[in-house]
Amino acid sequence: MSPRGKGPDFSEYTGPRRRAPAPVKPRPAFGRTFWGKAFVRVVEEIGDKPRVTRGRTYARSGQVLALDIEPGVVTAEVQGSQLQPFVSTLSIDTLDQSDIDDIITKIRRVPGSLAALVSGTVPDMLAAQLIPDGPSAFRFDCTCPDVGWPCKHAAAVAFLTAEQIDTDPLRLLRLRGVDLEQLIGGVEDESTVPVDVENWFGIAAALPALPKVQFRPAIDDLDIRRLREAVAALGLDMAQQNVALDEIRSIYRRLDG
């Protein structure tokens, strides 16, 4: 198969498809989960509707063999009308580091999302990074003579890929080149505080110096006029009042010290 081209008519060499000896058996319907539906939706946007429809039929009838998902590529054997099955591939670009950093940032911001990933659930909020933008993100290839884009064998691989993502959404992460351990490490690098087990209680910790506070006697916060009135009520003259106020200031300084 060559992409989007026209070539010779091989219809005279085709016949009824042969029954696959050990098919990858799909569920009754493709796209049963959020991620599977999103993937199928992109596949169904491909312009060559008849080939896409035949690909769905091939996938559902068990013509796809030994499907393998690796970063950036899905490879499978598809039993057609020939004696030997065709080798079909679906390729897609893996995510670059900036996309992976965006995923890590989103996981950090949403409590529980990392735990969900570890348990095998991919949060819907990562759709912008993981779901292909459209059919143009796909590249198809097949050893069959059909020059359509995609041929029915490659389209079948796309539908079975959606089925595998339905079963295990972490396979979509693998297809886009995202390593789960890398995500976990990226999130924990930011959120984990290193602990010195040798100094568990912080006895040997170096503490910052205390700020230097400018001395201000508490008496300065009092209303000196009312304080003088209180001292004068004791029958003291002005000189005695001044002495009494000085003594009070001295007492406050000792208390503040």
pLDDT digits (tens, 9 = 90+) for 131-189: 999 999 999 999 999 888 899 999 999 999 999 999 999 999 999 999 988 888 888 76
* pLDDT of residue 85 exceeding 70: yes
Residues 128 and 178 placed together within one structural domain of the fold:
yes
Mean pLDDT of all residues in 221-232: 79
Helices 49-60, 152-167: axis angle to 10 degrees equals 60
- Alpha-carbon dihedral 68, 58, 37, 40, rounded to 10 degrees: 80
Same domain, 180 and 222: no
Instruction: Examine the domain organization and report whether 119 and 233 are in the same domain.
Output: no
The answer to whether position 11 is within a domain reads no
Indicate whether 21 and 134 sit together in one domain.
yes
Are 233 and 137 members of one domain?
no
Is residue 33 one of the residues assigned to a domain? yes
Question: How far is 123 from 217, CA to CA, in rounded Å?
Answer: 60
147 and 32 belong to one structural domain? yes
Would you state the pLDDT for residue 193? 47
For 44, the domain range is 16-189
Instruction: Please indicate, yes or no, whether the overall pTM of this predicted structure exceeds 0.85.
Output: no
Least confident of 5-9, 32-36, 80-84, 222-226: 5-9
Is 201 inside any structural domain? no
Residue 207 lies in a domain: no
pLDDT score of 27: 56
* Residue 73 falls inside a structural domain: yes
Same domain, yes or no: 234 and 118: no
Q: Do 144 and 229 fall into the same domain?
A: no
In a domain, 87, yes or no: yes
Give the per-residue pLDDT at 26.
58
Same domain, 157 and 236: no
pLDDT at 223: 76
Residue listed under structure tokens 């009135």: 229
Query: CA 26 to CA 40: how far, in whole Å?
Result: 14
The reply to whether 65 falls in a domain is yes
Residue 20 pLDDT? 56
Does 52 map to a domain? yes
Report which listed range, 68-77, 100-109, 201-210, is most confident: 68-77
> Could you check whether the bond before residue 50 is cis, i.e. omega within 30 degrees of 0?
no
> Strands, E, within 132-231: which ranges?
139-142
Tell me the pLDDT tens digit for each residue of 233-252. 888 888 888 888 888 878 87
Do 147 and 59 share a structural domain?
yes
Together in a domain, 28 and 115: yes
Q: How many domains does the chain have?
A: 2
Task: Tell me: do 161 and 247 sit in the same domain.
Answer: no
Q: Pick the residue with more confidence: 240 or 218?
A: 240
| Res. 13 pLDDT band, cuts 50 70 90 | very low
